[in-house]
Amino acid sequence: MRAVLSVGANLDDAARAVDGVLGYFRPETVAVSPVYDTAPWGVTDQPDFANAVVVIDTRDSPEELLGRCQALEDAAGRVREMRWGPRTLDVDIVQCTDADGSEIRRATERLTLPHPHSHERAFVLVPWLAADPDARLSGVPVSDLVDGLPPEDVAGVRLPGEEQP
């Protein structure tokens, strides 16, 4: 199974936390984006995030992969106090595809695939596009999804050292 994971953090050493996840998945990595500085989404009164996307090939089921992602979050001290609030680490499964490239769909209490809000989040789509310029989400090119986002959202995803407009 191929999986697209969105990795983010904005507490403690956020960039180091993201790099740690990228290192953890390195043996399975097919593609990885740079680590971006991103404006917070949802709750905006918090520090900027470090965000990246990693594309992996794994033998795990989506549910097994979710368990691994949550174990990484737990090891980083993730506390789920506020929806869209600050976090030491967030590892979301954006999309899974099977061997023939068909998108795997799930709608359970624990896991929804593809991730229900990924199509509207620049901090997911911009890094994903950097990792895989040919990426598609539910049949739609990720480049088209990025083009459809508000320009200020896309501008809020920048490489370290770039000025925020």
Tell me the domain boundaries of the chain: 2-158
Output the pLDDT for position 41. 82
Assign 162 a pLDDT band (cuts: 50, 70, 90): confident
- Tell me the pTM: 0.95
Task: Say if residues 55 and 65 touch (Cβ distance below 8 Å).
Answer: no
Helix, strand, or coil here: 30? strand
- The rounded radius of gyration (Å) of the Cα atoms in the chain is 15
Q: Catalytic amino acids?
A: 78, 87, 90, 92
Q: Give residue 78's pLDDT.
A: 86
From 111, 120, 64, 69, select the one nearest 90 (Cα to Cα).
Answer: 69
CATH H-level, domain 2-158: superfamily: 7,8-Dihydro-6-hydroxymethylpterin-pyrophosphokinase HPPK (3.30.70.560)
Q: What percent of the chain clears pLDDT 90, i.e. is strictly above it?
A: 87
Residues linked to residue 6 through DSSP beta bridges, in sequence order: 53, 92
Q: Is the pLDDT of residue 60 over 90?
A: yes
